[in-house]
Structure 1
Amino acid sequence: MINAKERASIEKVCMIAGKIMLMSGAETHRVEDTMHRMARAFGVESAQVHATPTGINFSTGVAEMNSFLRISKRPTDLNKIAEVNNISRRVTAGELDMDEAYVLLREIELAAPGYTPWVQIVAAALVSGCFAIMFKGEWIDFLPACLAGGLGFVVMFYMDRLLEIRFLAEFFAAFVIGVSSYLFVSNGFGMELSKVIIGAVMPLVPGLHITNAIRDLVAGHLISGISKGIEATLTAFAIGAGVSLIFAFV
C-alpha cells in the first residue's frame, strides 16, 4: 500500500520527467508512456496521465487528486529527451529509486542547452548552404545561402526572445532572408535566387512539428496531433509570407 507521502514523491518525479520531455519537443504519446512506465515501476498501477502540447495532467489513481502543469515554451532539445528516456529505463529496471531519479531529472532540467546560440547559428548557416546545393543550386549559390540562412536564424533567435511570439519571429526572419538573398543575387553574389532562398529558409521549416503531429495522430492523440499540425501550418505560412513580401516590391 502506497501512503500519501510516497504518492506525492511519485507524482513529483513523473511530472518533472514529463515536463522536461514536453518542453524539449517530445511527442505527447511518448510523454504519457514514459510517465506511465515510471509510475508503474514505483508501484502505481492505475496512474492517469493526459498530456497536450501546452500542459500535463497527472494523478496516481482515478479518484485521486489531479496535478496540472502548464507548458509555455517548447524549444527542441533531443538530447534531454534521450536522457529522460534513459532514466525511465533505469527506473523500470529497478536500478534507480525515487530520490535518485528525482536528483538526476533535476540535473537535466537545470542543465544548459546542449549547443550555444552561436553554434546553432553557424550550424544553420552551413545547413542552408548544403540545402541550396541539394535542391540543385550551383556552387556559387552556396555562400550566399549560408549568409542569408545564418542572418535569418539570428533574426529569428533574437526576435523570438524580444517578442515571445514565434510566428512573428519566423515571419521577420523569412523577410530578412528574402531581402538579403535578393540583394546578394542582384549584385552578382549568387546565381539562382530561388535556390538561395529555399536553402536559407530550411532551418526555419517546422519539420519536427510536422513529424510529431503525424505520430500523435497515428497514436490516437487527436487533439495534440491537430494542434501541432495547425502550429506547423502557421509556421509555414509565416515563412512563406515573409519571403513573399519582398517579391511584392521587386
Structure 2
Amino acid sequence: MDQHIDHQELLDIATRVGVSLLQNGAEIYRVEDSIQRIVAAYGVKEVDVFAVPTTIIVTINPPGGKTLTKTKRIYSRSTDLDRIYRLNDLSFDIVEERPTFEEIEQRLKAIASQPVYPLPVQVFACALAAFGFTLFFGGNLMDAICSLTLGAAIRLIGYGMDLFHTNGFFINTISSAVTAFLAVFWVEIGVADHIDKMVIGAIMNLVPGVAITNSMRDIIAGDLLAGQAKLVEALFIATAIALGAGMVLSLHRLFF
C-alpha cells in the first residue's frame, strides 16, 4: 500500500515484531531475518540487526534521511510455537502486502492478547505427558498412574510461582524437588514400584528441549554469541532440575 513512510514508526514496528518473536522462543536467525525483511519492504535497504536472547539492537539508514537506532531489552522469555507461527505469518504478509502501520499494530495486539489454554487444561497436559513418558522409560502401569500427580504438581507449582515472578532457576529446582518427593511417597506407601521411572517421566515436562535445539541451530547458522547464551541458559535449567531432584533422592537414600 502506498503511504508516506515514517521511518521512526517503521523502526518501532519492525522492532516490536522482533521482540515478540524473541519473547516467544523464536530462533535468532528468524528474528533478525524478519526485521530485515519488514524494513526492506518499505524501501529501506540498509538495516543492521543484532539480537541475543536478552537484547535487540536495530539500526536503519533510510535513503536521504538520518540513521536511526532502537534498542530493546528482553526481560522474559517463554516458548509459544503458536504465536511464533502467527508472527511469522504476519511478517510474510507485511512483506507481500505492505499494510499500514495501524493495521500491523492491530494484528500485533491481537496476537499478544490471544487466549492461552486454561490452567486445568495445562495441568491435564502435563499430567498426561508424565504418564506417557513414565511408560516410555520402562515404568509399569501403576508407576504411570502415580506419575499423573507428579506432572500435575509441576504445572501447579510453576503457575503459582509465576504469579510472584519467581526466577526460573528456583521454579525448576522446587518443581523437580516436589516431583522426586511425590515419587518417593508413592513408592514408600507401596503403590508404585520405580522412583527413577516416575521422576524421569515427570521431569520431561521441564527439560528445555526446544531451547537446546534452537541454540544448536543458532550456532550452526553462525550466531555464535546467541547460540552459546541459549545453551548456557538450557544448562542452568538442567542444573536446577538435577539439583532439586538430587537433594530429595539423596535425603531419601540417607534416611531410608
Report if the CA contact (8 A) 2:41-2:98 is conserved.
Answer: no
Q: Partners of 1:226 and 1:4 in 2: how far apart?
A: 41
Structure 2, unaligned runs of 5 or more: none
Q: Which whole-Å deviations, capped at 9, do the CAs of 1:54-75 have from their partners, x for residues lacking one?
A: 1111121297131111110002
Report if the CA contact (8 A) 1:185-1:193 is conserved.
Answer: yes
Q: Partners of 1:117 and 1:52 in 2: how far apart?
A: 31
Aligned partner of residue 68 in structure 2, secondary structure: coil
Aligned partner of residue 193 in structure 2, secondary structure: coil
C-alpha displacement of 1:21: 0.6
1:190 aligns with 2:153: no
Q: Partners of 1:167 and 1:11 in 2: how far apart?
A: 34
Q: Which whole-Å deviations, capped at 9, do the CAs of 1:18-69 have from their partners, x for residues lacking one?
A: 1111111111111011111111111111111111101111121297131111
Report if the CA contact (8 A) 2:5-2:42 is conserved.
Answer: no
Match of 1:241 in 2: 243
1:207 aligns with 2:209: yes
Match of 1:55 in 2: 55
1:96 aligns with 2:99: yes
Match of 1:127 in 2: 129
Report if the CA contact (8 A) 1:52-1:224 is conserved.
Answer: yes
C-alpha displacement of 1:149: 1.6
Report if the CA contact (8 A) 2:126-2:154 is conserved.
Answer: no
Say which is worse superposed, 96-105 or 222-231, in terms of deviation.
96-105
Report if the CA contact (8 A) 1:178-1:246 is conserved.
Answer: yes
Structure 1, unaligned runs of 5 or more: none
Match of 1:75 in 2: 78
C-alpha displacement of 1:95: 5.7
Q: Partners of 1:54 and 1:164 in 2: how far apart?
A: 18
Q: Partners of 1:113 and 1:59 in 2: how far apart?
A: 33
Q: Partners of 1:32 and 1:113 in 2: how far apart?
A: 27
- Identity among equivalent pairs (%): 30
Match of 1:40 in 2: 40
Match of 1:176 in 2: 178
Match of 1:222 in 2: 224
Match of 2:17 in 1: 17
Q: Partners of 1:248 and 1:137 in 2: how far apart?
A: 21
Report if the CA contact (8 A) 1:153-1:204 is conserved.
Answer: no
Match of 1:154 in 2: 156
Report if the CA contact (8 A) 2:59-2:67 is conserved.
Answer: yes
Q: 1:106 aligns with which of 83, 106, 109?
A: 109
Aligned partner of residue 187 in structure 2, secondary structure: helix
| TM-score, structure 1 as length reference | 0.93
Say which is worse superposed, 171-180 or 58-67, in terms of deviation.
58-67
